[in-house]
Amino acid sequence: MKHFLDLGSHEFEGLRKFCDRLSIDDSWSVYCYEANSIVYEKALESVSIFETKFHKFHFYNRAVLDKNGVITFHCHRGAWKDSAKNEFLKEYTVGSNALKHNPQCDIANGVVFDVVDMNVECIDINNILDRICDQDPMAEIYIKCDIEGSEFCVVPRLLESKHIRNIKQMYIEWHERFWHNKGMKKRIREKNSYLNRLKELKIECFATGNLTLDFETRTLNRLYRQLIKPVRRLIIRMKYQYPSIFGHC
């Protein structure tokens, strides 16, 4: 049987997308995990849409990590558009995380998070695989992983699983930018190492929503607007004011 793990379900935006992409139907079992209790309660309003759509459907208010227990989870209730905090985006609840160093903003777009810490249960990703494969040894597992930085502990944990070869495809959103103040280069090296290992195991892996390049592009565009563009305007203005000087250049 085919099984789909939606790690970081939010309000099922990804599940809807992958139902089309993977042709997920009533022959599949679907397991969804959302750790932000605020988002989880809101997403429960849509559960009835999915309960009869698949062979099995489970939705858990848990963080998927490399261990079991209870953790402090940084839930986002929304975000301010920028550091000026003049405009509040109530629906911007993405970015909630279980990181020890909780990012106060997202450097990719400049939003500043409104954070409330909550105690949330967490589950070891390998426990999830064990439960599935113990009941279905021939399981074909597809994973969507959008867990706001915790992929850096979940993916290496997956690589230790005795059921790793049951995984057919992984779709991972990487968040190395959350370490932009310190350690981002190290995270990029780790990411590449994990991707190479998955490739060696012949597991198809797709990077989705990777904003590292977008961030670099935006940074260059910002520098252009703030520095280079004004200098070019100044040079053009001086050419008109002092044509004799520039004519000899």
Per-residue pLDDT tens digits for 21-80: 999 999 999 999 999 999 999 999 999 999 999 999 999 999 999 999 999 999 999 999
Residue 210 has pLDDT above 60, yes or no: no
pLDDT digits (tens, 9 = 90+) for 179-203: 988 899 999 999 999 999 999 999 9
Fold of 2-69+123-210: Rossmann fold (3.40.50)
Q: Please state the domain extents for the chain.
A: 2-69+123-210, 213-247
Residue 20: pLDDT band by 50, 70, 90 thresholds?
very high
- HEC readout, the chain: CEEEEEECCCCCHHHHHHHHHCCCCCCCEEEEECCCHHHHHHHHHHHHHHHCCCCEEEEECCEEECCCEEEEEEEEEEEECCCCCCCEECCCCCCCECCCCCCCECCCCCCEEEEEEEEEEEEEHHHHHHHHHHHCCCCEEEEEECCCCCHHHHHHHHHCCCCHHHEEEEEECCCHHHHCCCCHHHHHHHHHHHHHHHHHCCCEEEECCCCHHHHHHHHHHHHHHHHHHHHHHHHHHHHHHCHHHHHCC
